[in-house]
Structure 1
Amino acid sequence: MKIKKVLNNNAALASDENGNEIIYTGCGICFQKRPGDELDESKIEKTFVMEKANEQFLKLVSEMPYEEIQVADEIIKYASENLGKRLCNNIYITLTDHLGFAIERSKSGTFLKNKLLWEIKNYYKVEYNLGCHALEIIKDKLGVELPEDEAGFFALHIVNAELDGNIHHTMEAPEIIDDIISIVKYTYKKDLDEDSFSYERFITHLKYFLQRAERNAYYEPQDPGIFEIIMERFPEAYNCATRIKSYMESKYPEKLTDEEMLYLTVHIARITDRD
């Protein structure tokens, strides 16, 4: 396999037999190598398959210390294994880039304040715990101690990769979820059991609900008869869902469908069950 481009001593760009551009990393894999030279496959530690060369990622790999690339990969691999799902490839750019800047800022004692930390800890608990583990990996492998705020930022990158969404929308989502929860609490004049299974399912539903809102891809109406039954059975929950509908339509251009209202109503009825 011939080297197409030397990124640095530890990374090379090459093409496989299908024409896919692949970044190969490994300690000293390109030491004293030039484009056209054979790649020492025994030194390959990690491969990044790309449909086409992503200039931003190529730049990251060529400029960032190899140890930081390895740490970013370990964080992503750990998150993927613990979530039991494959994460969007874009996380290799966003999380790796964020890691590099976080470490640079730490050298001057400059840290970003995460204004969404409370919401992230409460609405993305699994991802937040993965973010905390990321801090442990960074401290163990790089000797850099980052603040808790960074665990929240790493969590958002993981959430974004789970949903294959836009990072800016992902950063807005915790506040929107918080607003929706506040609407429920205000409507029912009660606190919610945040440790209950129903609450956890509602938060999960809201994550994907916001993803559909972002993509203008709400659930299509199915059986209007079922919607009528749910409205009659849970009038207070439906009233609450109507308030959420008004709120969402002030945020997103698409109108909520009856199918979305049905699911919201059922979830609200469950988390506010007075029995």
Structure 2
Amino acid sequence: MKIDKIINNNIVSALEPDGKEIIVMGRGIGFGMKPGKEIPESAVEKVFRLDSQNNVDKFKELLVNLPLEHIQVSTEIINYAKSVLNRSLNQNIYITLTDHINFAIHRFKQKMKFSNPLLNEIKTFYKEEYLIGEYAIALIERRIGVSLPVDEAGFIAFHIVNAEFNTAMRDTIDITNLIQNTVGIVKEYFSMEPDEMSLNYQRFVTHLRFLAQRIVTKELLNSGNVEFNHLISEMYPEEYRCSLKIKDYIMETYHHDVTEEETAYLAVHIKRMRL
């Protein structure tokens, strides 16, 4: 690949064979180089491929204006998240998380406090991502000497969830509220407090995460297994009635019709959680 523009000594932009612009990072990769020169493969540490030229331009602006150590620590956190979750993340997280971390550090230095109203929900519904957030604030303290509050672990977790589900922050907040309210319906219906550490509870929450994502992003599921739906309603009548309450709540709040098959699966997960 050939250099298109030199951003600084450690970051350049380059053009791929199809003409798309990418960002390339490597220690000293831009030093003494000129546009048009070939980039040695040995100098490349990280390549950023974003989903639009607009986002490439945004990222370049961040790279020019942000301290290199903020960019590096953000990249390290994202790489750690990918390895822990063992799944890909939307590349735009390199923009959103880097910008957030830079602003969080700025707020800390200005002694500005910013609480996270959904911290408890994040800890409960996004356990893996929250642990990554805790790792992130510990890494920031080691690398930059700034001790961010636990609220920031929650905010960082939210950015990771956004990148997992390929959703906007507003959608992730809606998904979180939907999960919280659905769990609340089950608790109230059965007058129970489920064990949040149990495997069946975590399976229920995971199921709700994907259901909530489909609802918020307006994706529809086909429903054709009539025998399965009837069987579940007969085997678990109370759990099925509870799932119908959830179905009504989702229709009233999000104007989304949960299919009979999805309603039956909710009943199965509720039954498991009650065991």
TM-score by length of 2: 0.93
Seen in structure 2, the aligned counterparts of structure 1 residues 217 and 51 have a Cα distance that, compared at 3 Å, is closer
Q: After the TM superposition, which residues 133-212 of structure 1 pair with which residues of structure 2 at under 5 Å, given as runs? A: 133-212=135-214
Query: CA–CA distance in 2 between the matches of 1:17 and 1:51?
Result: 16
Amino acid in structure 1 at the alignment position of 2:9? N
Q: Deviations over 1:182-240 (max 9, x none)?
A: 11011001111212111010000011011110122232102111101111111111111
Q: After the TM superposition, which residues 75-94 of structure 1 pair with which residues of structure 2 at under 5 Å, given as runs? A: 75-94=77-96
Amino acid in structure 1 at the alignment position of 2:124? N
Q: In 1, are the aligned partners of 2:51 and 2:91 still within 8 Å (CA)?
A: no
Amino acid in structure 2 at the alignment position of 1:96? T
Structure 1: stretches of 5+ with no match in the other structure? none
Query: CA–CA distance in 2 between the matches of 1:40 and 1:144?
Result: 35
- Secondary structure of 1:29's partner? coil
Q: After the TM superposition, which residues 1-275 of structure 1 pair with which residues of structure 2 at under 5 Å, given as runs? A: 1-31=1-31, 33-39=33-39, 41-50=41-50, 52-53=52-53, 54-273=56-275
Deviation of residue 70 (structure 1)?
1.1
* Aligned-pair identity (%): 42
- Secondary structure of 2:88's partner? coil
Q: In 2, are the aligned partners of 1:20 and 1:50 still within 8 Å (CA)?
A: no
Query: CA–CA distance in 2 between the matches of 1:37 and 1:9?
Result: 14
Query: CA–CA distance in 1 between the matches of 2:103 and 2:95?
Result: 12
Deviation of residue 88 (structure 1)?
1.5
- Secondary structure of 1:3's partner? strand
- Secondary structure of 1:109's partner? coil
Q: In 1, are the aligned partners of 2:174 and 2:216 still within 8 Å (CA)?
A: no
Deviation of residue 149 (structure 1)?
0.2
Seen in structure 2, the aligned counterparts of structure 1 residues 266 and 161 have a Cα distance that, compared at 3 Å, is same
Query: CA–CA distance in 1 between the matches of 2:228 and 2:209?
Result: 24
Deviation of residue 42 (structure 1)?
4.2
Amino acid in structure 2 at the alignment position of 1:127? E
Amino acid in structure 2 at the alignment position of 1:15? L
Seen in structure 2, the aligned counterparts of structure 1 residues 38 and 229 have a Cα distance that, compared at 3 Å, is closer
Amino acid in structure 1 at the alignment position of 2:126? Y
Q: Deviations over 1:89-131 (max 9, x none)?
A: 1211111111111111111011321000011111111111110
Q: In 2, are the aligned partners of 1:20 and 1:51 still within 8 Å (CA)?
A: no
TM-score by length of 1: 0.93
How many residues in Structure 1 have an aligned counterpart in Structure 2? Answer: 273
Deviation of residue 10 (structure 1)?
2.2
Query: CA–CA distance in 2 between the matches of 1:129 and 1:189?
Result: 30
Seen in structure 2, the aligned counterparts of structure 1 residues 182 and 58 have a Cα distance that, compared at 3 Å, is same
